[in-house]
A and B are shown apart, each in its own frame.
Chain A
Amino acid sequence: MKQQKKALALAAALIISVANIAALAQQPLDRTKVPPFAPTPVLRVPTWTKTQLANGATLIVSERHNLPLVSFSITFVGGANQFEPAGKRGVAAATASMLSEGTTTRTGDQISDALQLLGTGVSSFIGGEEGSVGFVSTAKNFDATLAIIADAMLNSTFPAEALERLRARTLVGLTTAKDQPTVVGSQVFAKILYGDAHPYGQRATETSVKAITRDDVLAFHKAYYQPGRAIITVVGDVSPLKIKSSIEKGLAAWTKAGAAPSFDYPKLPELQPAKIYFVDKPGSAQAVFNIGLPGPPRNTPDFFAIQVLNTILGGQFQSRLNANIREQKGYSYGVSSGFGFGKGPGAFRAGGSIFIDKTDAALIEFMKELKGIVGEKPITDEEIKTAKESLIQSLPQGFSSVFAISSALTSMAVQGLPEDYYQTYAKNVSAVTKEDLLRVAKRYIDLNHLAIVIVGDRAKVEPALKATGIAPITYIDIEGNPAGVN
Chain B
Amino acid sequence: VINRRILSVMALALTISLGQPILGQKKGSAASDSIKIPFETYKLPNGLTVIFSVDRTTPTVAVDVWYHVGSKNEMPGRTGFAHLFEHVMFTGSAHVPYGLHDRLTEGVGGGNNGSTSNDRTNYYETIPSNYLESALWIESDRMGFLLDKLDIAKLNAQREVVKNERRQGVDNQPYGRVSEIFSAAMYPKGHPYSWPVIGSMTDLSAASEEDVKAFFRLYYAPNNATLAVVGDFDPAQAKAWIQKYFADLPQGKPVERPSVPLGKLEASKRLVYEDKVQVPRLYIQWHTIGIKNDDRYALSVMGSILSGSRTARLTKALVYDSQKASQIFSFQNSSQDVGVFQVIVTPRPEHTLTDLEASIDQVIQKFISEGPTADELQRAKSGLELSFLRGLESNLGKAEQLLNGSVFHNNPSYFSTNYQKTLAVTAADVKRVAAQYLTSPRIVLSVVPNGKKNQASKAAESEAVTMVVGNRRGGRS
Q: Which residues of A contact B (CB under 8 A)?
A: 29, 31-32, 34-42, 44, 66-69, 108-109, 112-113, 116-121, 136-138, 140-141, 165, 168-169, 171-173, 175-176, 178-181, 281, 283-286, 316-318, 326-334, 353-358, 386, 389-397, 399-403
- Of B60, B167, B383, the residue contacting A396 (CB under 8 A) is B60
A389 near B109 with CB under 8 A, answer: yes
> Which A-B residue pairs are the 6 nearest by beta carbons?
A330-B160, A393-B109, A394-B109, A41-B59, A285-B171, A401-B393
Judge whether B131 and A37 touch: CB under 8 Å: yes
A29-B244, A31-B141, A330-B160 known; A138 vs B385 contact (CB < 8 Å):
yes
Report yes or no: A330 in contact with B107, Cβ–Cβ below 8 A: no
Chain B min CB distance to A157 (Å): 16
- Measured in the bound complex, the distance between the Cα atoms of B382 and A121 in whole Å is 11
Within 8 Å of chain A (Cβ to Cβ): is B292?
no
B383 near A172: Cβ-Cβ < 8 Å:
no
A172 with B26: CB separation less than 8 A:
no
- Say whether A180 contacts B174, CB under 8 Å: yes
A-contacting residues of B (Cβ < 8 Å)? 5-7, 20-21, 23-26, 29, 34, 57-60, 94-95, 99-100, 102-104, 106-110, 126, 128-131, 133-134, 136-137, 141, 145, 156-161, 163-165, 167-169, 171-174, 232, 241, 244-245, 248, 276-279, 309-311, 316, 319-320, 323, 326-327, 346, 348-349, 375, 378-379, 382-387, 389-390, 392-395, 472, 475, 477
Instruction: Evaluate contact between A331 and B172: CB separation under 8 angstroms.
Output: no
Bound state CA distance, A472 and B248, in angstroms?
A: 61
Question: A400–B9 Cα gap in the complex (Å)?
Answer: 13
CB atoms of B278 and A328 under 8 A apart: no
Residues of A within 8 A of B104 (CB): 34
A32 with B95, Cβ < 8 A, contacts A179-B174, A386-B107 known: yes
Question: Does A175 contact B59, Cβ atoms closer than 8 Å?
Answer: no
CA distance A283 to B109 in the complex (A): 40
Q: Are A41 and B477 in contact (CB under 8 A)?
A: no
Pick the contact of A172: B6, B276, B326 (CB < 8 A): B326
A458 to B222, CA, bound (A): 50
Selected A-B contacts with CB under 8 Å, 8 pairs? A31-B245, A41-B128, A44-B59, A117-B24, A286-B172, A318-B107, A334-B7, A353-B167
The closest CB in chain B to the CB of A183 belongs to B174
Check A355 against B167 for contact (C-beta < 8 Å): yes
| B245 with A401: CB separation less than 8 A | no
Which of A37, A117, A171, A354 is within 8 Å of B379, CB to CB?
A: A117
**Chain B residues closer than 8 Å to A286, beta-carbon distance:** 164, 167-168, 171-172
Chain B residues within an 8 Å CB radius of A119 = 23-26, 382-387
Whether the pair B323, A285 counts as a contact (CB closer than 8 A) is no
Contact B348 A390 (CB under 8 A): no
A178-B278 CB under 8 A given contacts A116-B379, A116-B382: yes
Cα distance A389–B103 in the bound complex, in angstroms: 10
Q: In this complex, which of B20, B21, B59, B110 has the most chain A Cβ atoms within 10 angstroms of its Cβ?
A: B59
In the complex, what residues of A have CB within 8 A of residue B320's CB?
165
Give 19 new A-B contacts, CB below 8 A, not counting A109-B316, A386-B103. Answer: A31-B137, A34-B137, A37-B130, A66-B57, A116-B24, A140-B29, A168-B326, A169-B319, A172-B326, A172-B348, A173-B326, A179-B174, A333-B165, A389-B108, A390-B106, A390-B107, A393-B128, A396-B109, A396-B128
